[in-house]
Amino acid sequence: MHDAVAAAVKIVRDSGLPNTTDSMFTTIEGEWDEVFDVVKRATEAVGRYGSRVSLVIKADIRPGYTGELTAKVDRLEEALAEGS
């Protein structure tokens, strides 16, 4: 399975969009059309490894905001530091 996941993550990383990958999910930040183009291409890449693809999508749509992929974590870390 890791080869299929690697193919998808490579497409995400090559897209140039801000992204992170952890043990369970890959998160992408960008405009609707550009993000879903990457999602489509990554899904198609996984599909080449078998006859079935499972996909979970969660969207946080906030017009006028960018850089939240890291900014949310930064605010969390600041709050934790202040609470110490």
Structural domain spans, the chain: 2-82
pLDDT for position 84: 65
**Splitting the chain (84 residues) into consecutive groups of 10 residues, what average pLDDT does each group show?**
94 97 95 97 96 93 90 92 83
CA trace torsion 33, 36, 40, 41 (10° rounding):
70
pTM for the model stands at: 0.85
Topology (CATH level 3) of domain 2-82 = Alpha-Beta Plaits (3.30.70)
Q: Which helix H or strand E contains 12, and what residues bound it? A: helix 2-14
Alpha-carbon span 65 to 84, nearest angstrom: 29
